[in-house]
Amino acid sequence: MKDDVLQKAHLLYEMEGKRIEQMLAKDQVYSGILERLEKAERRLAGSDRAGASAMAEARELLLEMTRETSFKLGYVLAKDYPLDQVFKF
């Protein structure tokens, strides 16, 4: 493998992405926010299309922010630690 930090960060993100999703699903705050956004989106879907669209966008933004944060964490780990050491965490 190349010693490219970005390549290692992408690899870590791909390898650990599912585990991160599972951890977040178990987190009461994170899963609660997603659940409330989904409920608001469904409630608004029939009467307020713009509001429902805004809720969907907010939910997608939250997920995207989480993915981006996870990638940046992977980048930091890949930059500061040898890849074989990261797997020991």
Q: Where are the domains of the chain?
A: 5-86
Helix, coil or strand: residue 48: coil
pLDDT at 88: 65
Most confident of 14-18, 22-26, 82-86: 22-26
Q: Is the pLDDT of residue 33 over 80?
A: yes
pLDDT at 86: 57
Q: Are 73 and 7 in contact (CB under 8 A)?
A: no
* Each residue's pLDDT tens digit, 34-84: 888 888 888 888 888 888 888 888 888 887 888 778 777 777 777 777 766
Is the whole model's pTM more than 0.85, yes or no? no
pLDDT at 55: 80
Which DSSP letter does residue 87 get?
A: T
Show the tokens assigned to 21: 């999703």
